[in-house]
Amino acid sequence: QGDKVSAEKARKINNSYKSEGQLPQDPDIQDLKLYMDKRYETLILPINGAPTPFHISTIKNVSLAVEGEYIYLRINFFHPGGIGKQADSIDKENVYIKELTYRASNDKKDDVVPASNNLSHIHKLILEIQKKYKDQEQERKQMEG
Amino acid sequence: MAAMEFDEVYEEIRGVLNPGRLKLTSNSVIFKNVRTGKVETITKDDIENIKWTKRARGYGLKFITKNDTSLRYDGFKDTDLDRLKEFMTINFGKNVETQKMAVNGWNWGKVSFGAGNLAFEVDNKQAFEVPLKNVSNSNKGKSEITLQFHQPDDAKVSLMEIRFYVPPGDV
C-alpha cells in the first residue's frame, strides 16, 4: 500500500486550459453532450449547462453499462480517500468529485442516431486518451531516470 | 434604449435547453419559452445582482433575485455584453458582473451554497452549479455525499448522479 500512496502523491497536477477562450467550440458541447478535446487531453462534461473540463489525469476509470433502453456512463475520478491512504496527508480544505454518472437513451426517437452513441463514443475516447497519457507519463519517468 | 430583445435564448432545465425569447424593458426581464408558452418575469426591484458567465451554449446571464433564487438564460454572444451592461446600468441601476469560469480541469475544489444552488469552485473560480431543486435524492456516507437528480424524459444525455469525497473532519 505504501507504494500506492507515494504514487498518489507523485501525481502531476495538470491544467487543461489557461483561459475560457481556449474551450473548444463544438456542436456536441452546445447540445449539452459529452465531448473529448484530444488536443488538450480534456473531457468536457455538461453539468447543468456549464461546459466543465476535467483533465484526463483526474480520471481513474470509466465504465459503460446497458440497462434496458438506457446506456449509463460512469466516470470515476482520483481522490485521496482510497484504502490505505494516510488521513493526515489529505488536503482537508478540498472536496473531490469522486464519480459522475450520465444516462442516455438507446432509442432513436426522431433522431438519426440514438443519444446513447455519444456515451459509447466518449467511453472509447476516454480509454484511448487515457492510454496515450499513461504512455507519455511512463516515457517521461524513464527520461528522468 | 427603450427595450432589448433576444430571439435565440435558452433556459437550461435539468440538461434540456428550452428555447425562448428574452425581452428587457425599462423595468423588467421577460422570458417566454417558445415551446410551452410559459412566461417568466423578473421586475427590476426584484433583482439583487446580475452575472455573466461562459456556458455550453454561448454566454449566460444569471439574475439572482432578492428572495434568493436564480434565473439563468444562455445563448448570448460575447459581443452582447457591452450593450447589456449599458442597458442594465441605465435601466436597473445594476452592474453585470463577469464571473470567470474554472477551466483548469481539476476535480477538487470548494463547495458553497447560495441562491438555491450548490456551487463547485476550483481555484477560486466557479466550475459549475447544481440547482438544488434538481436534486431528487441525497445520501451522506462516512466521507461521501451523493446527489441524485430528477431525470427529464426529453433530455438526450442527462446527469444522473454526482458523488463527492469529503475528507474526514471537514464540515
Is A48's CB within 8 Å of B158's CB?
no
- Relative to beta strand B70-76, strand B59-65 is antiparallel
Measured distance CA(A28)–CA(A114) in Å, rounded: 14
Bridge partners (DSSP) of residue A102 are A73, B159
pLDDT value, residue A7: 47
Delimiting residues of CATH 2.30.29.220 domain(s) in chain B: 110-165
Contact across the interface for A32 and B100, Cβ inside 8 Å: no
Pairing of strands B96-98, B47-54: parallel
Q: What is the mean pLDDT of residues A18-27?
A: 94
CB within 8 Å: A15 and B104: yes
Q: Which CATH superfamily is domain B110-165 in?
A: Structure-specific recognition protein (SSRP1) (2.30.29.220)
Give the list of residues 6+ apart from residue B23 with CB closer than 8 angstroms, or none.
B3, B4, B5, B6, B29, B30, B31, B32
Residue located via cell numbers 459581443: B79
- Minimal CA separation from B2 to chain A, in Å: 30
Instruction: Give the gap in angstroms from C-alpha A124 to the nearest C-alpha of chain B.
Output: 17
Give the pLDDT confidence score for residue B127 in this predicted structure. Answer: 97
Exposed / middle / buried, residue B129 (Cβ in 10 Å: 0-12, 13-18, 19+):
buried
Average pLDDT of the residues in A129-138 = 95
Residue numbers of chain B with a pLDDT score lower than 50: 170-171
Comparing C-alpha atoms, which of B52, B51, B83, B46 is closest to residue B67? Answer: B46
pLDDT for A19 equals: 93
Give yes or no for B74 touching A (CB within 8 A).
Answer: yes
CATH number of A2-11+59-144: 2.30.29
**Mean pLDDT of the A124-138 span:** 96
Q: Do A54 and B105 touch (CB under 8 A)?
A: yes
pLDDT tens digits for range A40-78: 999 999 999 999 999 999 999 999 999 999 999 999 999
Task: Locate CATH 2.30.29.30 in chain B.
Answer: 4-98
CB atoms within 10 A of CB B20: 24
Are B106 and A72 inside 8 Å of each other by CB? no
Residues from chain B that touch A122, judged by Cβ atoms under 8 A, are none
Check residue A6 and give its pLDDT.
Answer: 46
Buried b (16+ CB within 10 A) or exposed e, A103-135: bbbbeeeeeeebbbbbbbbbbebbeebbeebee
Say yes or no for a CB contact (<8 Å) between A95 and B103. no
What is the model's pLDDT at position A29? 97
Question: In chain A, whose CA is at the least distance from the CA of B117?
Answer: A48
Chain A (18-77) residues lying within 8 Å, Cβ to Cβ, of chain B: 18-20, 22-23, 29-34, 40, 42, 46-55, 58, 72, 77
Closest by Cβ to A101, choosing from B12, B53, B160: B160
Model ipTM value: 0.94
What is the pTM for the complete model shown? 0.92
The verdict on B137 touching A (C-beta cutoff 8 Å) is no
Q: For domain B4-98, give the fold.
A: PH-domain like (2.30.29)
Predicted confidence at residue A2, as pLDDT, reads 42
Closest to B168 (Cβ–Cβ): which among A32, A87, A94? A87
- Look at residue A85 in the predicted model and tell me its pLDDT: 53
- Residue A107, CB-side half-sphere exposure with 13 Å CA sphere: 10
Neighbouring-strand partners of residue B135: B149
* A87 lies within 8 A of chain B by CB: yes
Q: How do residues A68-115 score in pLDDT, each as one tens digit?
A: 999 999 999 999 886 555 555 556 689 999 999 999 999 877 667 899
Query: Which residues from B are below 8 Å from A87, CB to CB?
Result: 167-168
Question: For residue B157, with 0-12 CB atoms within 10 Å meaning exposed, 13-18 middle and 19 or more buried, which class applies?
Answer: buried
Question: Does the pLDDT value for residue A1 go beyond 80?
Answer: no
Tell me the nearest-neighbour CA distance from A53 into chain B, angstroms: 5
